[in-house]
Amino acid sequence: MTLPDKMLFSTFPVGPLNCNCCIIGDPLTRRGIVVDPGGDADFILSEVARLGLTITDIIHTHAHLDHILAAGQVKNATGATISVHRQDKFLWDDVERQCQRFRVPYQPQPDPDHWLQDDEALSCCGGVTLHTPGHTPGSLCFLFEKYRLLIAGDTLFKRSIGRTDFEYGDFAQIEQSIRTRVYTLDEETLVITGHGPSTTIGEELRENPFVRAGTGSNGNGLR
């Protein structure tokens, strides 16, 4: 994976469900952010050290357990603030029950320090939040337009989309989010998905069977 050399970047699967965690840093200030620390805190922190970064923010695409379970440990080690969209507070507060449901060891998490909003500027590399509800009410994508990079969480996958069969999921909403907030981006934009391989906006516009350019569907994604 090649990104412009003016951004420090690493992505790797972590935790019980192989969530793609990302570390993004500014090579001049050496300040950075961690996105979706879903587990394996020691490995995340070793990558932070390898990149030589000071982490100031821990941000989440949504509050499902597999995207947040190492947030507290990373915060304790770095002093960074934890941020998520307010509409996912009910999921953050319910992480223990989520762990019980999926038979994952429970790790208590501190309360978020900040509620992210749509179109909010991030603290690193010109990033901005995109509110893309559907998988969860507070689902977010993080766009680094200068670098043609989108961290999509569980909104968009390679040839799939996020599940909407939970009681709070909404297919019509995720379809609208993808069409109006994601598919309008530069087709060369690299998409880091919440799980599995990366893709590009152009590939999904043409080949995604759930939400394709100019078509609709009434299905559900795999995750």
Where do the domains of the chain lie? Answer: 8-207
Which amino acid appears at position 169 of this protein?
Answer: G
Q: Kindly state the average pLDDT of the residues 55-69.
A: 98
- Average pLDDT, whole number, for the chain? 94
Q: In what order do the strands lie in the sheet with 31-35?
A: 8-14, 19-25, 31-35, 54-59, 81-85, 114-116
Alpha-carbon torsion (177, 168, 152, 218), positive or negative: negative
Q: Which CATH class is domain 8-207?
A: alpha beta
Residue among 47, 216, 194, 195 nearest 132 (CA): 194
pTM above 0.85, yes or no: yes
Q: Are 57 and 149 in contact (CB under 8 A)?
A: no
Residue among 74, 82, 78 nearest 40 (CA): 74
Read off the tokens for 82.
């934890």
Half-sphere exposure of 12 (CA within 13 A, CB side): 15
pLDDT surpassing 50 at residue 78: yes
Q: What is the pLDDT of residue 212?
A: 82
pLDDT surpassing 60 at residue 91: yes
